[in-house]
Amino acid sequence: MKGRHRAIRVRGFARPQNPQYQSYPVKPAIRPAPQFRPVDLPLGPAEVAAGLRHLPGLVFFDSAGNLARPQALSLIGARPSQLLEGRITNVDELRKELCAREVDRPDCGFPLGAACGWIRYDGEFQFGLYDHLLVFNHATGRWFEVGSLLDELHPAPLPPLEIPGPWESNFTRAEFVERVRLAQQYIASGDIYQVNLSQQFRVSLSHRDPLLALYERLRAVSPAPMAAYLQQGGYEILSSSPETFLRMNGRSIETRPIKGTRPRFTDPELDSRSAFELQTSEKEIAELVMITDLLRNDLGRVCEFGSVKVTELLKHERLEQVHHLVSTVTGELRKGADQLDALQACFPGGSITGAPKKRATEVIAELETVPRGLYTGAIGYLGFNGESQFNIAIRTLERDGPALSYGVGAGIVADSDPEMEYQETLQKAEGIRLALAEGNRGPAQSQAAQR
């Protein structure tokens, strides 16, 4: 756009004064908040999502599992009014659409309409604009309706679904191990300190049936606090991600990088031993500290000076299949920056690229043989009232035409054991493999497979 305009407003999706950000013409005043109301709905989020599957553009952001936090929400939407596509390096059109829909921010704690979608690892994005949502507050057990969806809810069991095999990786074990050694050569030469290296599994589907039944199996065997299912714009996304890329409430922002993985065991003693090994691993501790510092710097690019803080460091968290180490970094967006600026400053996430980030992404492009697609991008929503969140798209299946794929990776440092890093990628895929295996079993076998 021609010319520059001083921002007259800094809350939500403001047009900034800072010349390093793109500025936009003044727009009309913020709209009043749309109507939302509590509803009496004796169903869980998965049942509601299944009951709305006949509607176009179904999205289901799912806070599941034992890590669901006190503010955890599950958000279900359908019938987007518009789809927007572009690249994260140029969000002009997306920002204008969000500005046009910005609403007052009553203290309700959830989005009052949202742009829902994803950003691929290469920066391509797709967002649908959703005015109709059902929101479940996990802390209170209450449902809320924004717009109108309840009248179109038709609960019904999902039909059985079979996923064919075999799955094929772009790497053999030997090839992946060799790529780890090549990455360590870059580390030894001082190019990078750490890099995330991944492999991709792929299968061709012989049917066009929606994969919501597969997602429900995935959330049963591997529930995660940042999970999601989206059927939008010709794509289908199934994610059981545990990792928060960005959570934003107005001008407050939080990121929670994950590093370090060890398997879970049904035997309590073995499980405790596995957790202790993770918590005392010098490699895993050094990796997370490094990435935490990287994300402090990323947030510092768009946050008020002195507001960026590490509120949790090296916290141990248990998922259904694995143990992880997690940090939490928070900040306050500075005057002239908005939530899209934060996405641009932090994308792609440091925990799934490496340090320094720019050179690590170059090494990834050289060593990995296929594009990552959505894997290690981000899935989430930008609320019209500033309530927004995105995951890191790990433990995520993507359907594009007949192809169904998922990626798994490991963080490589100087003293990494290449064989152990290969095994770590398989541990991270365990939930997906269990869900796929259950799809081809009878009900009794499926129940027995759950831990």
Q: Which residues are catalytic?
A: 243, 259
CB 329 within 8 A of CB 294: no
Distance separating alpha carbons of residues 186 and 346, to the nearest angstrom = 24
Phi, psi of 284 (to 5 degrees): -65, -40
Location of structure tokens 């049917």: 207
The DSSP secondary-structure symbol of 174 reads H
Residue count of the chain, please give it: 451
Secondary structure element (H or E) that encloses residue 441, with its range: none
Q: Which residue, 394, 429, 428, 68, is CA-closest to 257?
A: 394
CA atoms lying within 13 Å on the CB side of residue 170: 17
Query: Which tokens in the block code for residue 422?
Result: 């290969």
Query: Which tokens in the block code for residue 268?
Result: 């309590």
Location of structure tokens 């299946």: 397
Distance separating alpha carbons of residues 420 and 170, to the nearest angstrom = 19
Q: Which residue, 113, 59, 36, 74, is CA-closest to 386?
A: 113
Query: Which tokens in the block code for residue 64?
Result: 């599941």
Q: Which residue, 144, 138, 157, is CA-closest to 65?
A: 138
Q: Which residue, 414, 318, 393, is CA-closest to 121?
A: 393
